[in-house]
Amino acid sequence: MISKSKQFIYSSMVFTFPVAGVPIFVYILPFYASNYNLGLSLVGFVFFAGRMIDVFTDPIMGALVDKFPSKWGKHKHWIILSLPVLFLSIYFLFLPPDKSISGWYLFVCLFFLYTGFTLSGIAQLSWASFIAPNYDDRTRLLTFREFFSLVSTLCVISIPAIIEIFGGDFENKINAIGIFGLIGIPITIIFGVTLLPDKKKTVSSPNPFASYKRFLSNKSLNILVLASVLIAFGQSFTGGLYLMLIDAVLELEAFASRAILINFIFAIVGLFFWRYLGIKLSKHKSAAYCCFYASLALFLQFLLIYALLESPASIKILGFFPMVAIVGFAFSGAAPLINSMVADLSDQDEFEEKTNQSGSMYAYLTTITKIGFTFAIAAPYIFLENVLGFDITLGSLNSDTSITGLFYMYHFLPIVCNLVAGFVLLQYTLRRSQHEIIRNKLHSKNYD
């Protein structure tokens, strides 16, 4: 395991990743839908198209990481290559130079943004299996990485919250988030690739694409993939509909950014609780319990909002904000545990196949997860506008039918997703003792 200072440097490389997360479906998509009059359907379709194409880039990126190491190691050069792609796509997406924007403009920006983050993200996750070789070390490292991601998200969502307090408009919020990304990306990437060790003793993988076929029959891996898809679908679904819920249902639009801030503060608190549980019990049980907790919290939030619908704004705030904190406690608990379990499975696969294909394995995970993520954003947008007749510009003036549909969709689909994910995770089989045996055998035969 690398030193704590280098764990800090490794984890800080994810610091700007949240620019492509919450801000996209909470701010960017509604911004382009309303400010540029693209509409929910077009924005939803553009997002769907961009992400679906991006899905096909994941296996390619994973194969590249495994197939083509360099003299600097297996991972560093791919992360450096992602830098200019990320810089330019963030600039054009968050600081659009033209007042008239087409759907094609949004599509190209999103595609390159996600392509850059895919390359950097897969290389970084694959790198973790080398930096933290042991079962619990990986839980600690990837939880620390998730902590940085949450702190960054907190910084990102604090930006529009502060601008909101001082009366800034929607465009000011978008521009400020973009500037945050443009400053942070070069700093964190350059520090990481300069100061961290990489896997030098590596050989070119014989056929990384063949590994994807093998992964289809890996039961333990597919348990993690299915759980990841369900969790991503549920979280993306609520994220994509959040502004509409708080505007049309609760009529608290002026407090939207502050509520998100509270959600992520408690996500940080919860992150360390679920990590502790993962070390105390096991990763798969901790992740499963986190999913069960998330389902219960969302159901309680549904009941609370339902009870407060006719209440004054002050009462709604007093009731809703604590509930946002309770729901946020589970937000990031499962993801680092699943990523850590994938690293464990990559060790098992390396021992059996005599070649390390951790990049391809993470690409397999992210490829399928992104499908769930993409449908969770695009489908409700299209359904709300074309089936329920919801108009994002009308807020609470929409029809009762469309508002009620939004309210029920927001809660019950994610509740079901989390429940199923929890039960799926309980079927995972690779245990701490088994992984320790695999690592010892790998070390004794010098495979790592």
Domains of the chain in start order, with CATH, are 13-444 (1.20.1250.20)
Report the pLDDT averaged over residues 178-207.
78
pLDDT for the residue 445: 59
- Rounded to an integer, the average pLDDT of 39-47 is 81
Buried b (16+ CB within 10 A) or exposed e, 311-326: eeeeebbebbeebbbb
DSSP secondary structure string for all residues of 38-60? -HHHHHHHHHHHHHHHHHHHHHH
Bigger pLDDT: 75 or 34? 75
Buried b (16+ CB within 10 A) or exposed e, 111-129: bbbbbbbbbbbbbbbbbbb
Is the confidence at residue 446, as pLDDT, over 50? Answer: no
What does the pLDDT read at residue 200?
Answer: 63
What whole-number distance in Å separates Cα of residue 130 and Cα of residue 138? 10
Asked if the model's pLDDT at residue 448 lies above 50, the reply is: no
| Per-residue model confidence as pLDDT tens digits over 266-311 | 988 999 899 999 999 899 999 999 999 999 999 999 999 999 888 9
* Number of neighbouring beta carbons within 10 Å of residue 289: 20
CA–CA separation, 214 vs 34, rounded Å? 45
Of 95-109, 396-410, 413-427, minimum mean pLDDT range: 95-109
Mean pLDDT of 70-94: 88
Structure tokens at 305: 């909002």
Read off the pLDDT band of 202 (50, 70, 90).
low
Average pLDDT over every residue of 215-228: 93
- Count, in order, helices (H) and strands (E) of the chain: 17, 0
Q: What is the rounded CA–CA span in Å between residue 138 and residue 443?
A: 17
Q: What is the mean pLDDT of residues 89-116?
A: 86
Enumerate residues 6+ apart whose C-beta is below 8 A from 94: 19, 28, 174, 175, 177, 178, 179, 181
- Res. 162 pLDDT band, cuts 50 70 90: confident
Q: Which two tokens stand for residue 250?
A: 């609760």
**Cα–Cα distance for residue pair 357/211, rounded to 1 Å:** 8
Sign of the CA dihedral running 25, 27, 33, 39: positive
Q: What is the pLDDT of residue 417?
A: 95
Lowest mean pLDDT segment, chosen from 52-56, 341-345, 385-389, 420-424: 52-56
CA 177 to CA 27: how far, in whole Å?
Answer: 10
* pLDDT of 373 over the 90 cut: no
Percent of the chain exceeding pLDDT 90 equals 22
Mean pLDDT of the chain: 85
More confident residue, 342 or 7: 342
Query: Tokens 């819920």 identify what position?
Result: 245
Helix (H, G, I), strand (E, B) or coil at 13: coil
- Contact predicate 370/230, CB 8 Å: no
> Nearest CA to 392 among 136, 41, 133?
41
Average pLDDT, stretch 227-235?
Answer: 93
User: What is the pTM assigned to this prediction?
Assistant: 0.76
Top-confidence residue, 97 or 278: 278
Tell me, rounded to whole angstroms, the distance of Cα 118 from its chain centroid. Answer: 11
Nearest-angstrom CA–CA distance, 335 and 329: 13
Backbone angles phi, psi at 70, to 5 degrees: -130, 180
Residue 61: which residues within 8 A CB-CB, separation 6 or more? 78, 118, 119, 122, 123, 359, 363
End-to-end CA gap in the chain:
14
Query: What is the pLDDT, as a whole number, of residue 447?
Result: 42
